[in-house]
Amino acid sequence: MSESSSRSIAGRAIGAVALMIGFYGLAAVIVGILLFLLYAQLRYGSRLNIRLVIFCAVGAITILWSIIPRRDRFTQPGSRLLPDKHPRLFKELDSIADATDQERPAEVYLIPDVNAWVTQRGGTMGLGGRRVMGIGLALLNSLTVSEFRAVLVHEFGHYYGGDTALGPWVYKTRAAIARTIAGLKHQSSILQTPFVLYGKMFLRITLAVSREQEYAADRLAAKIVGPGPLMRGLRSIHKAGLAFRSFWANEFIPVLSAGFHAPILEGFNRFSAMPAVDKAVSGALTQALENPEQDPYDTHPTLRDRLAAVKSLPESSDPASDQPAVTLIDDAAGVELEMIGMLTDRDGVFALRPLTWDEVGARVYLQPWEDLARQQGVALEETTAASLADLSQDMDPLDTYFARYATRGLSEEHIRGLGYTAVGAALATVLRRQGWELNSRPGVGFRMRLGENEIAPFSVLPRLVSGELTPEVWRKQCEEAGISDLSLGV
């Protein structure tokens, strides 16, 4: 490691320790003042002020309890990857370890994310312990081998720069500050205020340091692998990350919750390939590059700033590989199942029934829709498919019906959403009974189809209410499909 890097690490360490000492010093001073006031009241007070005694005692105990460091408990974040089962992946890890003059992480885990991270667990406040790395399955799926190498070097750069050794000091202090502020929330704003102010300063300074650490890790990646693969990888990660979060929450979790398991990567690839999804994430990438917003509490610099910082650096002479990075994993389907098992229940995962994405709609959604339609059928017993056009002009009866069952404090928007869902479930159910089939490909949404006719049941009423779909067009569509008089009362 160069002399300048050593000085940088020493400076960060001194800053982190100074900030930590400052917080505990602040806590000690305030506790000391409270204990002195408590002692003076009990020792010299002519008349006992119960409120002051309680204020000082509870405040001191709350602060002392909050600043005590908690034991670091490591929860396995996914399925552990082993060298003998994935030799190509670990060959890359060993190569990067040699190039950065660092030890390979002791433990490597496959996680359900478009991300990679490193940390140091065990030991005391970052001293000692073992190195741990997380690698996203969807990350491997979204990058080429060269782009993935750049990501690996970036993560090893945090070891190289000493960031993972400093991290536990910072995280423990942040947690202590948060506990102190939360503990004093109902105690006294007077006691809470200095910790809130110090906490804001602590976050701003340490997160600014975190952003500098990201720049340093990027420079190391660009130096070893080249700026080209790094820049392409960062763009791909930004797009894939947005898509994967939506896929995971809206497509995969409902399947898992219903007791099924569908192939993650296949579903994600189909989801990402949909024109609407690609348009949305491409637009978000353009926004991030043209009009980025940097929050002072962000841990990472903006994508545009990261790209600009390495753009002019010289390219590496190492040969590039355009092979998909997921090819570094052996038996990706089996590893998928192992990962899901670690996130749910190691034994229960084997009870998950395998499912293709083409089967998802019929086996996961249709029965719950029918149950919902049956429960709420009275609200729609006088409504036909065509008369949804009339209902959209006066939603008060439907809103009133669902407001009766709403818990106190439920927003009008939520109540309206209950009505939309009930109508969509009823329309899907009655269409199914008429022989329509559900088409539910990842990223497409729910569409009922019969011959040349296709209807998205859950979007009909919202589109009518918003004006995107006119009553005339909807009535004509119902007439052509022969469902104008189809009752939605199930």
Domain ranges of the chain: 79-165+211-351, 360-481
pLDDT of 7: 57
pTM score of the predicted model: 0.81
- CA gyration radius, the chain: 29
> What distance in Å separates the CA atoms of residue 166 and residue 120, rounded to the nearest whole number?
10
Residue in the block written with tokens 């929050």? 295
How many C-alpha atoms does 176 have within 13 Å on its Cβ side?
Answer: 26
List the one residue out of 123, 124, 125, 94 whose CA is nearest residue 108: 94
pLDDT of 119: 87
What's the CA dihedral at 382, 387, 389, 392 to 10 degrees? 0
SS (H, E, C) the chain: CCHHHHHHHHHHHHHHHHHHHHHHHHHHHHHHHHHHHHHHHHHHCCCCCHHHHHHHHHHHHHHHHHHCCCCCCCCCCCEEECCCCCHHHHHHHHHHHHHHCCCCCCEEEEECCCCEEEEEECCECCECCEEEEEEEHHHHHHCEHHHHHHHHHHHHHHHHCCHHHHHHHHHHHHHHHHHHHHHCCCCCHHHHHHHHHHHHHHHHHHHHHHHHHHHHHHHHHHHHCCHHHHHHHHHHHHHHHHHHHHHHHHHHHHHHHCCEECCHHHHHHHHHHCHHHHHHHHHHHHHHHHCCCCCCCCCCCCHHHHHHHHCCCCCCCCCCCCCEHHHHCCCHHHHHHHHHHHHCCCCHHHHCEECCCCCHHHHHHHHHHHHHHHHCHHHHCCCECCCHHHHCCCCHHHHHHHHCCCCCCCCHHHHHHHHHHHHHHHHHHHHHHCCCEEECCCCCCCEEEECCEEECCCCHHHHHHHCCCCHHHHHHHHHHHCCCCCECCC
pLDDT of 315: 84
463-486 as b/e, with b when 16 or more CB fall inside 10 Å?
ebbeeebebeebbebbeebebeeb
pLDDT of 130: 85
Walking along the chain (490 residues) 10 residues at a time, the average pLDDT comes out as: 52 74 94 92 80 90 89 82 96 94 94 91 65 95 96 92 70 88 83 92 86 91 94 96 94 90 92 92 94 85 95 81 92 86 66 86 89 87 93 89 72 86 94 91 86 94 95 96 92
pLDDT of 1: 46
pLDDT of 93: 96
> What distance in Å separates the CA atoms of residue 241 and residue 439, rounded to the nearest whole number?
26
Residue in the block written with tokens 């996203």? 136
- How many other C-beta atoms can be found within 10 angstroms of the C-beta atom of residue 401? 17
Contacts of 392 (CB under 8 A, 6+ apart): 461, 464, 465, 471
pLDDT of 104: 94
